[in-house]
């Protein structure tokens, strides 16, 4: 396998756009990535576009890549459509990496794009609810009902007034609290951190700062989650240009190298091998010849604040049950031992599902090039992303872990 580098990357600001569609969002992100790579749109030899929900939210199915790229004058080359729930664009990135690493192509374009915002909220919620085994959907909703909705005959609000995934994360948070004594305040401190980081990121959907008290006092979603502990949906796009190591000097003097790319699926044998995130991280660390101690900055899939805490434990930043202590120590803040979600994470940057994975990689690319502005991590040389998607039998259906280095 050949060495592969990111020559350029770009993204839109994540937001709720009434007047911007998939094509316009894609154009902005791809133009930014190509400009950063110093190349013309005719240079990429293959393109992979990640998108999860356009069929449900916009009606565009089947040929999303060909539609959004043709509009901006990219045609003829092979195009692949990647759909893998919230991990759609990080999966697209892995496919782009494989095309170049294998020697089949020298330059590949990876894109993530999503249009989640619509005045018909039910359509967006339906898109999230489709990320589980739909044959078991009703049973899942009833099983996950928070204590406040346990009254006989009362239907769950999951999938109606809120995303089903918030109930999944809330149930996991309650279990962690019962087993390890983790507190709601510790979860809220993660939200404080990420919103503070997002205030420094011009691409973030929300740039407000909040106190611990404000996080806790925001409207309840599903116990123990409040609204500000949950990632907002929205619209956006992200893109990266990957180039073979022996060709990258033609385009940039500051390449960021892809040291590992892991994609794994959920399993019914978690007791034997660990959960999906642990397995993906283990695979990536082995591929890169690194451990968690070698990582200077990381972006993880904080679709809720409790999700981030669980990921700390799963990827080895601390022992199982010690995530709350890591939060209390400030270890994951900018300036801490291992900064996590310097972009603001999904909580503040936003979560246009199919664009999230490459947006995480964009943040690490900026950090390793020393271009992250007020949220820059000092002397960052290696970074990592973790991006999960969907849910089957109590864990993510798909998870990617990528490791990048200067």
Q: Which positions are annotated as active-site residues?
A: 86, 351
Q: Could you give the C-alpha distances from 220 to 184, 205, 210, 212, in angstroms and in order?
A: 12, 21, 16, 15
Phi and psi at 286, nearest 5°, equal -65, -40
H helix intervals, 181-220 = 184-198, 212-217
The span from the first CA to the last CA of the chain, in angstroms, equals 19
Q: Is residue 184 within 8 Å of 224, Cβ to Cβ? A: yes
What 3-state DSSP class applies to 199?
Answer: coil
Cβ-based neighbours of 214, under 8 Å, separated by 6 or more: 228
Cβ-based neighbours of 246, under 8 Å, separated by 6 or more: 2, 3
What 3-state DSSP class applies to 9?
Answer: strand
What is the per-residue DSSP string for 289-301? T--GGG-SEEE--
What 3-state DSSP class applies to 265?
Answer: strand
Cβ-based neighbours of 253, under 8 Å, separated by 6 or more: none
């Amino acid at each position: 396998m050949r060495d592969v580098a990111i020559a350029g990357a770009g993204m839109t600001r994540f937001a709720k756009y009434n007047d911007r569609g998939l094509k316009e969002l894609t154009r902005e992100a791809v133009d930014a990535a190509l400009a950063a790579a110093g190349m013309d749109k005719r240079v990429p030899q293959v393109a992979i576009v990640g998108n999860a929900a356009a069929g449900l939210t916009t009606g565009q199915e089947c040929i999303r890549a060909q539609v959004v790229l043709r509009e901006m004058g990219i045609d003829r080359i092979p195009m692949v459509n990647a759909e893998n729930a919230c991990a759609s664009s990080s999966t697209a990135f892995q496919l782009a990496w494989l095309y170049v690493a294998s020697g089949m192509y020298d330059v590949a374009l990876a894109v993530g794009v999503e249009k989640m915002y619509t005045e018909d909220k039910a359509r967006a919620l339906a898109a999230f609810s489709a990320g589980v085994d739909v044959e078991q959907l009703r049973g899942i909703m009833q099983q996950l009902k928070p204590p406040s909705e346990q009254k006989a005959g009362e239907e769950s609000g999951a999938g109606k007034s809120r995303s089903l995934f918030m109930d999944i994360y809330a149930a996991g948070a309650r279990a962690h609290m019962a087993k390890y004594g983790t507190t709601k305040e510790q979860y809220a401190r993660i939200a404080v951190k990420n919103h503070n980081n997002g205030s420094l990121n011009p691409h973030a959907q929300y740039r407000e700062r909040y106190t611990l008290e404000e996080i806790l006092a925001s409207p309840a979603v599903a116990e123990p989650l409040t609204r500000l502990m949950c990632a907002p949906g929205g619209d956006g796009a992200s893109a990266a240009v990957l180039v073979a190591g022996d060709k990258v000097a033609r385009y940039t003097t500051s390449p960021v190298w892809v040291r590992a790319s892991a994609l794994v699926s959920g399993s019914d044998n978690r007791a034997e091998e660990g959960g999906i995130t642990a397995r993906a991280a283990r695979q990536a660390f082995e591929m890169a010849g690194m451990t968690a101690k070698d990582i200077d900055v990381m972006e993880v899939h904080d679709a809720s604040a409790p999700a981030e805490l669980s990921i700390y434990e799963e990827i080895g930043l601390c022992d199982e049950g010690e995530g709350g202590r890591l939060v209390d120590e400030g270890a994951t803040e900018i300036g801490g031992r291992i900064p996590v979600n310097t972009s603001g994470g999904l909580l503040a940057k936003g979560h246009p599902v199919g664009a999230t994975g490459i947006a995480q990689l964009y943040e690490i690319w900026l950090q390793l090039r020393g271009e992250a502005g007020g949220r820059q991590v000092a002397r960052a040389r290696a970074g990592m992303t973790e991006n999960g998607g969907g849910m089957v039998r109590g864990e993510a259906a798909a998870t990617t872990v990528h490791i990048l280095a200067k």
